[in-house]
Structure 1
Amino acid sequence: MPTWNAPSVNTPIAGALALPGSKSLTNRFLILAAQGSHEVTIQQPLEARDTQLMQAALGALGASFDFDDKTQSLRIVPINKQAVPKELTIEGGLAGTVIRFLTPLALQYCEKLTVLGDPAARKRPIRPLLNSLAQLGYDFEVFEEPVPDEAGPVPLFEVRKSTPLNAEDTSPNRVDVEAKASSQFLSALLLSAAGWPQGLEICAKRPIISGTHVDMTLDSLTQAGITLQVEETAESVTYRVAPGRPQLDQMTVEADLSNAGPFIAAIWACGGKLAIPNWPAQTTQAGDYWRELFSILGGKVSTATEDHGQGAVFTAPEGLRTNEEYLEFDLQAHGELTPTLAAMAALRQGKTKITGIGHLRGHETDRLAAIVNEVKRLGGEAEAGEDFLLFHAPVTTPAQVHAYHDHRMATFGAIIGLVLPGVQVDDIDATTKTMPTFKDLWAQLVAPALPESNLSE
């Protein structure tokens, strides 16, 4: 794959930048709409590799999709149960929202499921979810042997029925789930829970990592009219989901606030002012935390109005990178923001510590190890502990940043390249996983003149 020369800038950035829709919301809406009883239209969905894989997997269950490029809307026809074979194969790429979310749902329609994925997906945790499904009468086999990247889609695991559920049993099914490695195990069970004949009771042991994503799942279920109850204790959280079909109406996907991170980091690194339209006033997205992080890092965030809603404006003076103050951040609930915050930390003069992120070792790559490797490659000093990153000295030397097939490591390299001329990224196309327009948006960001903002502060 061709390397990408990261552009650098030596002047403040100013203007407005509209971002594509949220991957996390798009895939939750897709899976709920596909389980419904009527056609649903989703406005402003993300069109990227992860959402295309979700559509293809749901298509294997008999759902159909029609995207209107003119209106940027997607029409979904729900699952056709009669079209599902007894033995089903789906492909999930490197997308946890596909590999994990689709597994419990597909097993409501087929007797044997084989899930394929990218070779790197064999390193991503899956057993906690499969252990929960075993409590519902399923056997599984996981394929964990390493395979070369060029192998293409490879089997990740197989699941088949062993003890059929008793259709005459009126008591709720109950499962325990461990969500300390990924909240997606819990969200996967929640998103299909209403499809079981008696509903599902899910007991999640604490700690539950990335709680904002669970909140997003619960909010999506509520919007879909699913009846659920939540009971919390010091040791666990129990979710009781009543049976029923989701009843979504027309939905609009919010802008992806996590993917706003690299552009916000650019303003912090270079100075300037950036307006991001359609920033929601209230949201369950983890990326909304960028407003607080940016302020802690010395910038100013203001709310602005526009013709069709609300936006956020990020303003930073030049010189924030030279601050020598020690900073510490707990990102247990917002872990996906770590690679971007790490790029900012790697540019700071002061020491920075990011805690609560041990679960990132099981993401698209071991993000803690990858970040430390790349900081050292770029002449900086950093170390990783069991659940933290500590940055001792800023990067100084341009080099080729390795993306590790990880979209967030690719944008990590882009951020560093803004202020360290000569940086390259070996696989910038990893960003197509969740933001296929990243290269164009980044070029627009560093252009001599961004489009002017029409937001009024």
Structure 2
Amino acid sequence: MTETLWPAPVATAAVDATVTIPGSKSVTNRALVLAALASEPGWVRRPLRSRDSQLMADGLRALGVGIEEQVNNTSGGSGGGEAWRVIPAGQLRGPAQVDVGNAGTVMRFLPPLAVLADGPVHFDGDPRSYERPQHGVIDSLRALGARIDDGGRGGFPLTVHGTGALDGGTVELDASSSSQFVSALLLSGARYNQGVEIRNIGGPVPSLPHIRMTVDMLRLAGVQVDAPEDGGEKDVWRVTPGALIGRDVVVEPDLSNAAPFFAAALVTGGRVTVRDWPRHTTQPGDQLREIYTRMGGSHRFTDEGLEFTGSGRIHGIEADLHDVGELTPVIAAVAALADSESHLYGIAHLRLHETDRLAALAKEINDLGGDVSETEDGLRIRPRALKGGVFHTYEDHRIATAAAVIGLAVPGVQVENIATTAKTLPDFPQMWTDLLDPPAAAGV
């Protein structure tokens, strides 16, 4: 098959741009699930429109949930853009077919909801979905009384035999490979007869900020949740059974998707403002402010959003990215252009993401002349003079944006399958071009 190669633009000057980042995938897909389980209709405003969120919406529609899409012609600011009206089904329906693609939130969040359907729900997805860990969800639902046929694979394809209800109760699971195992059960747990109590019996749970996001959104929907960070028992989460409130949710920008744009300010010694950056948020991407400042930049809040400025120097970093693993690919790209060595650790779980992100980053940066080695739980990056070449993405959106960042400083980088960025950032190629050469109209 012929590779589709995208010539990564090279920066010829310091960037100076203002960027509007689409809505958070994590917030959008959680909001859709909670709205589908609510007792009355709700709204999800300014949702992310991407492959992952479309898969979630289509999966819910297959189960009988109404999702009406509306577009407000007012653009920009917090009041404009698209809105989805979500109308819960009186009874989730089966039989149904759900395509999970390669979307972690869809493959983990929908099976716990499907047990409430009144018939079988068959799940299938991309070939990579067959390799990603699903045992935490499958084993937990079985322990809570659900019937699931997966051919003994512990993964996809699988069929959940919904009976219209689930008793729920206490379940022990190993959530050390994905925080989504915990979020998945929390999101639907209030609709189980006894609620749900989740006990992690494995190692440390990665990406804990995503569980905190789930807990906060559940509470705003009227659900009673006990969580460790509120003084509860360590590694134990409890959801009390009860009705969910249909809400009007405005989705924040996806802060993780700001990573390549702020990286451009670092790499070029320029300035980038991301509009509508929240002053307070549970999104892990907010940690970009601190991480990139340590690497040589500075930031400040303005009336428009968050402004990040590069100093013209990039410093290596020692960083535990366990809670913010999704930021690793772009941070690694910036580190490959730094003036000193970097060590990124706490991220062994990235081997189980859209691709083995640690192996992919090491191989692709090294193929450009870099010196990156894998450690037991991360990457050691020793900056070297890089050269152009093909940078493969492994159908992983964050690997693709990392390649674009390197291409700012390294002529001749060609990104294979840049279209994979549509997973969470559908207009990335145009946004990237506009970043380097802003259109005449104000902003990007």
Q: TM-score, normalised by structure 2?
A: 0.92
Q: Distance in 2 between matches of 1:47 and 1:26?
A: 9
2:224 is the alignment partner of 1:227: yes
2:368 is the alignment partner of 1:378: yes
Please point out which of 173, 179, 193 is paired with 1:177. 173
Which position in structure 1 is the counterpart of 2:67? 65
Shift in Å at residue 143 of structure 1?
Answer: 6.3
Please point out which of 246, 249, 261 is paired with 1:248. 246
Do 2:108 and 2:180's aligned partners in 1 also have CA atoms closer than 8 Å? Answer: yes
Q: What value does the CA root-mean-square deviation take over the aligned residues?
A: 2.3
SS in 1 for 2:431: helix
Which position in structure 2 is the counterpart of 1:312? 306
Deviations 1:303-361 (A, max 9, x none): 1124xxxx11101122x14x4xx520000011100001011111123110000000000
Deviations 1:269-304 (A, max 9, x none): 111111111000000001000100111011011111
The 1:447–1:186 alpha-carbon spacing in structure 2 relative to 1, beyond 3 Å, is same
Matched residue type, 1:273: R
Which position in structure 1 is the counterpart of 2:215? 218
Shift in Å at residue 176 of structure 1?
Answer: 1.2
Do 1:14 and 1:449's aligned partners in 2 also have CA atoms closer than 8 Å? Answer: no
Do 1:262 and 1:412's aligned partners in 2 also have CA atoms closer than 8 Å? Answer: yes
Q: Distance in 2 between matches of 1:74 and 1:159?
A: 27
Do 1:88 and 1:110's aligned partners in 2 also have CA atoms closer than 8 Å? Answer: no
Q: TM-score, normalised by structure 1?
A: 0.89
Matched residue type, 1:241: V
Which position in structure 2 is the counterpart of 1:365? 355
Deviations 1:351-400 (A, max 9, x none): 10000000000000000000001011111011112211001233511111
Mapping for residues 151-166 of structure 1, pairs under 5 Å: 156-160=157-161
Which position in structure 1 is the counterpart of 2:19? 17
2:177 is the alignment partner of 1:187: no
Do 1:216 and 1:284's aligned partners in 2 also have CA atoms closer than 8 Å? Answer: yes
Shift in Å at residue 43 of structure 1?
Answer: 1.3
Which position in structure 2 is the counterpart of 1:413? 403
Matched residue type, 1:157: L
Which position in structure 2 is the counterpart of 1:354? 344
Q: Which stretch of the first structure deviates more once superposed, 214-223 or 64-73?
A: 64-73
Q: Distance in 2 between matches of 1:352 and 1:143?
A: 43
The 1:448–1:32 alpha-carbon spacing in structure 2 relative to 1, beyond 3 Å, is closer
Q: Where in structure 1 are there 5+ consecutive unaligned residues? A: 146-153, 167-171
Mapping for residues 118-129 of structure 1, pairs under 5 Å: 118-129=126-137
Shift in Å at residue 112 of structure 1?
Answer: 3.2
Q: Distance in 2 between matches of 1:360 and 1:60?
A: 31
Shift in Å at residue 192 of structure 1?
Answer: 0.4
Q: Where in structure 2 are there 5+ consecutive unaligned residues? A: 73-80
Shift in Å at residue 230 of structure 1?
Answer: 2.5
Deviations 1:377-425 (A, max 9, x none): 1110111122110012335111111010100011111111111111111
Q: Distance in 2 between matches of 1:156 and 1:122?
A: 7
Do 1:223 and 1:248's aligned partners in 2 also have CA atoms closer than 8 Å? Answer: no
Seq. identity, %? 39
Mapping for residues 75-224 of structure 1, pairs under 5 Å: 75-81=85-91, 84-85=93-94, 87-142=95-150, 156-160=157-161, 173-205=169-201, 206-224=203-221
The 1:141–1:349 alpha-carbon spacing in structure 2 relative to 1, beyond 3 Å, is farther
Aligned residues, how many? 430
The 1:289–1:143 alpha-carbon spacing in structure 2 relative to 1, beyond 3 Å, is farther
The 1:223–1:130 alpha-carbon spacing in structure 2 relative to 1, beyond 3 Å, is same
Matched residue type, 2:85: R
SS in 1 for 2:322: coil
Q: Distance in 2 between matches of 1:165 and 1:337?
A: 36
Mapping for residues 215-364 of structure 1, pairs under 5 Å: 215-231=212-228, 236-306=234-304, 311-318=305-312, 320-321=313-314, 323=315, 326-364=316-354
SS in 2 for 1:73: strand
Do 2:335 and 2:381's aligned partners in 1 also have CA atoms closer than 8 Å? Answer: yes
